[in-house]
Amino acid sequence: MVSGKMKAAVYHGPGKVAIEEVDVPQIGEGEILVRVRAALICGTDLKTFLRGHRLVKPPSPFGHEFAGEVAATGRGVTRFSEGMPVVAVNSAPCNVCFFCKRGQHNLCEDIFFNWGGFAEYVRVPARVVGQNVHPIPEGLSYKEAALLEPLACVVRGNEAAGIELGDSVAIAGGTGPIGLMHLQLAFHQGAKEVIAIGLRDERWAVAQELGVSHLIDAGSEDPVERVLELTEGRGADVVIEAAGVPEVWEMAIALARKGGRVVLFGGCPVGTSIPLDTSRLHYDELNIKGVFHHTPGSVERALHLLASGVVKAKPLITTVLPLERLEEGLLMMKEGKAVKVAITP
Ligand SMILES: [Zn+2]
Ligand SMILES: [Zn+2]
């Protein structure tokens, strides 16, 4: 058993995150305690830090993309033992509600989120241990493995996009971590070109390193005009929105060709809405799909994609900081100075 104090980030509301001495979490039946070796800052963490989050009630542990080694196991845990390198995601479905029974595990009525990755130790609840904790495949570092949770979400978005050989794929918010994972999967599926739209910043070099076909600076160019130019006036076959901004959702729909597919991936602030051109939806037969979260199946597929190198995590992790500098990491992501920041407690 591990006991005593540890350093952990505590979220006290928008703009307020402190590193504090807290008790090492105690684990119960079916649970494991993970000694965190790397925790990545997620867009959700950044949104929570900047404007709050409906599911994070302060004061709260913080961070949810982590990998480390098993420090202790609760009664009844058989798949894991002390010292094992593992990666866990932040939730697991109940498997008994209306949605779970219909295979829509990401919409589970009893989904809960496990926060606390920005700490020396994190407790993983029994339901997650049972479904969404995996040994880290050989060859993957803790930092790379910690990309599992966002990639599992991206896998579902990618499946909704139905990318076909030779497609033109436009990604709005294409130079952020989510956009860059979508980019890698789109090429893997035979996209002819991937057009990334974003504000020009230090992350552009990473998009270039990953082979982006065209970069559009939304700060100085008209993305709709540029995408039409690049696609013989038709628009992109597939558009993926990965920014979570209502105006960008609207733009994403405008980027799609007749009969094209639009995946709205980024979550916007609660209560926002966008106007929809009914003629475009009807006469142009647009396929518009929202996607949210992951399922145990998409988590497994994401792990294979990381292990096989189809999705490269290393280029996305542009900054590594100690726990004490978490806030600096959050600000770097806000300003586009880092794609993904890894915190090493
Ligand atoms: Zn995340
Ligand atoms: Zn459920």
**Residue 111 forms part of a structural domain:** yes
**Ligand number with the minimum distance to the CA of 148:** 1
Are residues 173 and 286 both part of a single domain?
yes
Domain span including residue 9: 5-147+313-344
- Mean pLDDT along residues 217-236: 98
Q: Which of the ligands is closest to the CA of residue 46?
A: 1
Are both 161 and 269 inside the same structural domain?
A: yes
Are 110 and 25 in the same domain? yes
pLDDT band, residue 53 (cuts 50/70/90): confident
Residue-wise pLDDT for 241-281, tens only, equals 999 999 999 999 999 999 999 999 999 988 999 999 999 99
Give me the number of domains the chain comprises.
2
* CA of 48, nearest ligand number: 1
CA of 344 to the centre of ligand 1 (A): 16
8: which residues sit within 8 A by CB, 6+ positions away? 19, 20, 22, 61, 116, 118, 119, 120
pTM of the model: 0.97
Whether 31 contacts 129, CB under 8 Å: yes
Domain match, 205 and 125 both: no
164-189, pLDDT tens digit by residue? 999 999 999 999 999 999 999 999 99
188-213 pLDDT, tens digit each: 999 999 999 999 999 999 999 999 99
Q: What angle do CA 164, 240, 304 make, to 5 degrees?
A: 65
Query: Could you tell me if 185 and 109 lie in one domain?
Result: no
Using the predicted structure, report yes or no on whether residue 2 has a pLDDT greater than 90: no
- Residue at 25 is within a domain: yes
User: Is 302 a member of any domain?
Assistant: no
pLDDT digits (tens, 9 = 90+) for 287-344: 999 999 999 999 999 999 999 999 999 999 999 999 999 999 999 999 999 999 999 9
Do 70 and 188 belong together in one domain?
A: no
For residue 36, the domain's CATH number is 3.90.180.10
Spatial separation of the C-alpha atoms in residues 114 and 130, rounded to whole Å: 14
Could you tell me the distance, in angstroms and rounded to a whole number, from the CA of residue 66 to the centre of ligand 1? 10
Once rounded to an integer, what is the mean pLDDT over residues 142-156? Answer: 98
Shared domain check, 269 and 221: yes
**Cα 89 to averaged position of ligand 1 atoms, centre (Å):** 9
Same domain, 92 and 130: yes
- Closest ligand to 177 CA? 1
CATH of the domain at 283: 3.40.50.720
The pLDDT-based confidence of 1 (bands split at 50, 70, 90) is low
